[in-house]
Structure 1
Amino acid sequence: MKKWTLVWSDEFEGNTIDLSKWKYDIGNWLVDQDGNGVKAGWGNSEKQCYTNSPDNAYIKDSKLIIQAKKEQAEDRFGSYEYTSAKLKTQGLFSKKYGRFEIKARLPVGKGIWPAIWMMPEDNVYGKWPLSGEIDIVESWGSRPLTVVGTIHYGERPPNNTHTGKELTLPEGNGINAWHVYALEWEQGELRWYVDGELYQTQTEWYSKQSESVENVPYPAPFDQEFHIILNLAVGGHFDGDPDETTAFPQQFEVDYVRVYE
């Protein structure tokens, strides 16, 4: 059995979020490096405005709580009906290869979209998805027994692609129970686990910058450093928008984040 050594972690033991480990994305829009708006809804028609408010992300009982609320919010591009939070280690911690392990409890409700994922620290092969995206776990709030792990890669949109696999959890032990989600990433191989059980292995992907050039040599794009992202979205393409059955506030709870090599 492979022996992993802990190299980075957050156990959320303090009273406040550790800003030496996490920073916030703010607002509702994807922006370019100059701060100009590129696309609303984070590119997915999401309805929330991300904030750095302690109402949306805080530490309680040694756990990180990311809370989505139904309340009015604004950024410089517009106004929104929901607030939430998105935390990331970009610029603070990134890693190429290793074991990424997160113990979390995910919320349930139509239009609720929690995610634990990774993006490239530097877009070495070009903008999304040419430099890749690794989704350790996402869940549909309307499907409380299902999680999914996915990679995004390929060519420029709309010729981008993704591959992944869903896992059905046992009745009575769905996404709103505590589970340990893990990704083991080695050169040329990605493996996804829930509670120590392997449910998916991926070894095939590519990055192609244009039709006129060859693919970047494998195992690109998954041979660069990636950073970690934790967020709770409301609405969007993944699970649709909330409806009259969706309760607020919604909470995404994280007991720890640990990275091994």
Structure 2
Amino acid sequence: MDSPRLSRRLLRSVLPALALALATAGLAGTGGPSSAGAAPMSKAAATATTTFSDEFDGAAGSAVDGSKWQIETGDNVNNHERQYYTSGNKNAALDGQGHLVITARKENPSNYQCWYGTCQYTSARLNTSGKFTQAYGHVEARMKIPRGQGMWPAFWMLGSDIGQVGWPNSGEIDIMENVGFEPSTVHGTLHGPGYSGSGGIGAGYTLPNGQAFADAFHTFAVDWAPNSITWSVDGNVYQRRTPADTNGNAWAFNKPFFLILNLAVGGYWPGDPDGSTAFPNQLVVDHVRVTTNDSQPPATGGRITGLAGKCVDVAAAATANGTPVQLYDCNGTDAQKWTVGSDGTIRALGKCLDVASGGTADGTKVQLWDCNGSAAQKWAVSGARDIVNPQANKCLDVTGNNSANGTRLQIWTCAGTANQKWTVNG
């Protein structure tokens, strides 16, 4: 694609929620009963902790759950798309059978105006900005995509800092895109600084024997970890990307992102509908699920060293909830043996590194606490040696840049300073 899919008008509707997302960056997860007839979660996520789930259970004609999704409105000049995204349940509604149906129609019931004049089509676009963001994990949607020239369904993510840094510096992870003239192929793509638009980094996945994606439900997923993203369709991995693929440009994906679902009509990439395109046309979504990574931490840990070569240490090797975590001379004791798991936790003495009371403010102290799967216990270790709590979007920090034994550790706005740099198993 040649330009970001966030139009000027859509930005006006998204940015207020983005401000909230930047303030909270929270992991808001709830799960309802499985949709009738829904496929089980794919193997990659089967043993992981669910942080977000929408099974789209509800009465036919109902709008989506407003605690999980917001509905964007407007057109999109950047890609020369033809649709106007409407509010409420006009073009996005539950079908009463455990599905969300996003419907594109050739109509203009309210004299909507688009970049090209009077709009010719309506459709819908949903996102979780300000309601759910997450860094890393398994992200999947089970969907049946539409058929026809000019149709452009997508399941994708944007960095929650887009309101601060703009696109493409925010990063964009396209989990699934399809353009109607390729009925058997979907695409997964990364966009970031120096590799955006038509220069995005990605690959396609094609069904065998001429099958079309519109004929059945398929599960589209990414498995996302620090410095790597892997795409799959129905559990079949078809590409993996790391910072080595960005040709020296910044890797924009070690931070929280939010989810987006939409069905566009027309645009530079898919081209416009023609006489062969049937309307109304539908994207049917069975579920959207986000989990932590499913790999279990190793049984033994190692030290985490930081300022002045000292270690992250559990005070007095105590295991009581609330025990301070501090900086101390490295001594090889169990109080300094930490396991960094792909589930996002950092553990010692059988408990988790925890942000006190789930706080997000600068100066909130960290402690040892029973592992409970909360956002206060999720951490991301970056290639730049930062240890980040995605909920707060802040770094593990030595208070006051003080290397004395017993100095408490806290979270603080990431600044790249020596008291925020850590070497795991160092």
- TM normalised by structure 1 equals 0.85
Query: Greater shift after overlay, 224-233 or 147-156?
Result: 147-156
Inter-partner Cα distance in structure 1 for 2:167 and 2:227: 20
Equivalent residue for 2:207, pick from 162, 166, 169: 169
Inter-partner Cα distance in structure 2 for 1:93 and 1:75: 31
Equivalent residue for 1:26, pick from 70, 73, 88: 73
Instruction: Output one character per residue of 1:54-91: Cα deviation in whole Å (capped at 9) or x when no partner.
Output: 23110001100000000024148652000000011011
Equivalent residue for 1:11, pick from 55, 64, 75: 55
Inter-partner Cα distance in structure 1 for 2:232 and 2:195: 29
Equivalent residue for 2:102, pick from 55, 66, 75: 66
Does 1:99 pair with 2:138?
yes
Please tell me the residue identity of whatever aligns with 1:66.
I
Please tell me the residue identity of whatever aligns with 1:22.
W
Does 1:149 pair with 2:188?
yes
Q: Is the 8 A contact 2:75 2:114 kept in 1?
A: no
Inter-partner Cα distance in structure 1 for 2:186 and 2:122: 23
Inter-partner Cα distance in structure 2 for 1:169 and 1:84: 27
Q: Percent identity?
A: 42
Does 1:227 pair with 2:265?
no
Report the counterpart of residue 37 of structure 1 in structure 2: none
With over 3 angstroms needed to count, the CA separation of the structure-2 counterparts of 1:190 and 1:156, relative to structure 1, is closer
Report the counterpart of residue 34 of structure 1 in structure 2: none
Report the counterpart of residue 236 of structure 1 in structure 2: 267
Runs of 4+ in 1 over 6 A off after TM superposition: none
Q: Secondary structure at the match of 1:171?
A: helix
Please tell me the residue identity of whatever aligns with 2:102.
I
1:205-220 matches, within 5 Å, as 205-206=245-246, 220=251
Please tell me the residue identity of whatever aligns with 1:250.
N
Q: Is the 8 A contact 1:153 1:207 kept in 2?
A: no
- Per the TM alignment, residue 124 of structure 1 is displaced from its structure 2 partner at its CA by 7.8
- Per the TM alignment, residue 142 of structure 1 is displaced from its structure 2 partner at its CA by 1.7
Please tell me the residue identity of whatever aligns with 2:205.
L
Inter-partner Cα distance in structure 2 for 1:245 and 1:76: 23
With over 3 angstroms needed to count, the CA separation of the structure-2 counterparts of 1:5 and 1:53, relative to structure 1, is closer
Query: Greater shift after overlay, 49-58 or 228-237?
Result: 49-58
With over 3 angstroms needed to count, the CA separation of the structure-2 counterparts of 1:238 and 1:7, relative to structure 1, is same
Inter-partner Cα distance in structure 2 for 1:163 and 1:157: 8
Q: Is the 8 A contact 1:68 1:251 kept in 2?
A: yes
Q: Is the 8 A contact 1:145 1:171 kept in 2?
A: no
More strand as a share of residues = 1
Instruction: Output one character per residue of 1:30-67: Cα deviation in whole Å (capped at 9) or x when no partner.
Output: xxxxxxxxxx2xx1000000001423110001100000
With over 3 angstroms needed to count, the CA separation of the structure-2 counterparts of 1:68 and 1:8, relative to structure 1, is same
Query: Greater shift after overlay, 67-76 or 143-152?
Result: 67-76
- TM normalised by structure 2 equals 0.53
Report the counterpart of residue 49 of structure 1 in structure 2: 84
Inter-partner Cα distance in structure 2 for 1:195 and 1:259: 16
Query: Greater shift after overlay, 137-146 or 119-128?
Result: 119-128
- Per the TM alignment, residue 155 of structure 1 is displaced from its structure 2 partner at its CA by 3.3
CA RMSD of aligned residues (A): 2.3
Q: Secondary structure at the match of 2:138?
A: strand
Inter-partner Cα distance in structure 1 for 2:179 and 2:210: 16
With over 3 angstroms needed to count, the CA separation of the structure-2 counterparts of 1:108 and 1:157, relative to structure 1, is closer
- Per the TM alignment, residue 164 of structure 1 is displaced from its structure 2 partner at its CA by 0.5
Inter-partner Cα distance in structure 1 for 2:209 and 2:88: 35
Please tell me the residue identity of whatever aligns with 1:59.
L
Inter-partner Cα distance in structure 2 for 1:13 and 1:168: 31
Q: Secondary structure at the match of 2:112?
A: strand
Inter-partner Cα distance in structure 1 for 2:130 and 2:263: 21
- Per the TM alignment, residue 171 of structure 1 is displaced from its structure 2 partner at its CA by 3.3
Please tell me the residue identity of whatever aligns with 1:9.
S
Please tell me the residue identity of whatever aligns with 2:93.
Y
Q: Secondary structure at the match of 2:270?
A: coil
- Per the TM alignment, residue 157 of structure 1 is displaced from its structure 2 partner at its CA by 7.3
Q: Which has the larger radius of gyration?
A: 2
Where does the alignment leave 5 or more consecutive residues of structure 1 unmatched?
A: 30-39, 209-214
Where does the alignment leave 5 or more consecutive residues of structure 2 unmatched?
A: 1-42, 293-426
Inter-partner Cα distance in structure 2 for 1:56 and 1:198: 32
- Per the TM alignment, residue 173 of structure 1 is displaced from its structure 2 partner at its CA by 3.8
Q: Is the 8 A contact 2:71 2:88 kept in 1?
A: no
Equivalent residue for 1:90, pick from 129, 141, 163: 129
Q: Secondary structure at the match of 2:200?
A: strand
- Per the TM alignment, residue 163 of structure 1 is displaced from its structure 2 partner at its CA by 0.7
Q: Is the 8 A contact 2:106 2:122 kept in 1?
A: yes
Query: Greater shift after overlay, 178-187 or 123-132?
Result: 123-132
